[in-house]
């Protein structure tokens, strides 16, 4: 029997499409057409929220604000993972949703491969990075991981018309190790930190130039006692601002990914 997933959306097309994807991949899907069914725990005659393994929640419902439903779920079942569906959002809005307890967010329209990947990740036990050092032996994210994530975020950026920023930091090996640890502890679930041979790269979805400056300032404040920020070379790429408009307009994702990754190494 597959894992049980509750879809909460008042748009029939959204539920139909996502249900088909999930059932095709072995999940057992339950549906709520609005927030009221979630609040009353009345979406099924035999199953309730306590029986679900994961909830996929649309932020925009006709009867309730999605944030109210998220709050209700997390108050009753703190450990139940919730993936939020939304239209394009700012970094601040996404972080607010995550701070309320969502394990992840997806920008509509949702690509099938990305949706299934996020569901798989959401069903795993969440990792609380807020106070934890990088576990010994943890696999560092390298060049291949970076390329895959850049491609994923470029696709999301093009669909949602929201930016994505990358912050490349270069310095001595010792300084890079400290930067990597500090970034891993500081960044939120939507962000990623990659440790390459000669640089640490921060990938920041839904983040423009100003947001990137804030992240950089916070990072340098965190490592100020261990590293002189003047010893770190910094390069910032904000997509799509820094990409060739022709590639962006024609949705040439592979070329854009290659362009962004190569730009970081120059």
Count CA atoms within 13 Å of residue 139 on its CB side.
Answer: 5
Q: What is the pLDDT of residue 204?
A: 92
Domains defined along the chain, listed by start: 4-122 (3.40.50.2300), 143-265 (3.30.70.2880)
Q: What is the pLDDT of residue 185?
A: 85
Cα gap 194→199, rounded to integer Å: 8
Reported confidence tier of residue 97, pLDDT bands at 50, 70, 90: confident
Q: What is the pLDDT of residue 143?
A: 83
Residues 28/76, Cβ–Cβ less than 8 Å: no
Reported confidence tier of residue 134, pLDDT bands at 50, 70, 90: low
Does 72 score more than 90 pLDDT?
yes
Q: What is the pLDDT of residue 47?
A: 93
pTM value > 0.85:
no
**Residue of 6, 9, 127 lying closest to 58 (CA atoms):** 9
Question: What is the pLDDT of the chain when averaged over all its residues?
Answer: 87
Cα gap 151→192, rounded to integer Å: 13
């Amino acid at each position: 029997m597959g894992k049980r997933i509750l879809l909460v959306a008042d748009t029939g097309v959204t539920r139909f499409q996502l249900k088909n994807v999930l059932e095709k991949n072995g999940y057992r899907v339950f549906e709520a057409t609005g927030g009221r069914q979630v609040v009353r725990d009345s979406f099924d005659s035999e199953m309730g929220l306590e029986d679900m393994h994961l909830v996929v929640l649309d932020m925009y419902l006709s009867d309730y604000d999605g944030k109210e439903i998220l709050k209700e779920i997390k108050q009753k079942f703190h450990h139940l993972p919730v993936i939020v569906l939304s239209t394009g959002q700012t970094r601040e809005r996404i972080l607010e949703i995550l701070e309320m307890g969502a394990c992840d967010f997806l920008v509509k329209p949702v690509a099938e491969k990305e949706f299934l990947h996020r569901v798989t990740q959401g069903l795993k036990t969440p990792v609380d990075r807020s106070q934890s050092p990088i576990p010994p032996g943890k696999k560092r994210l390298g060049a291949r991981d970076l390329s895959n994530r850049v491609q994923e975020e470029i696709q999301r950026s093009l669909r949602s018309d929201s930016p994505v920023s990358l912050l490349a930091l270069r310095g001595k090996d010792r300084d890079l190790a400290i930067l990597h640890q500090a970034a891993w502890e500081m960044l939120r679930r939507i962000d990623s930190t990659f440790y390459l041979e000669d640089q640490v790269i921060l990938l920041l979805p839904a983040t423009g130039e100003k947001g990137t400056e804030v992240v950089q300032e916070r990072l340098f404040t965190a490592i100020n006692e261990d590293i002189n920020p003047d010893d770190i070379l910094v390069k910032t790429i904000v997509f799509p601002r820094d990409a060739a408009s022709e590639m962006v307009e024609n949705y040439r994702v592979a070329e854009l990914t290659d362009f962004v990754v190569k730009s970081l190494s120059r």
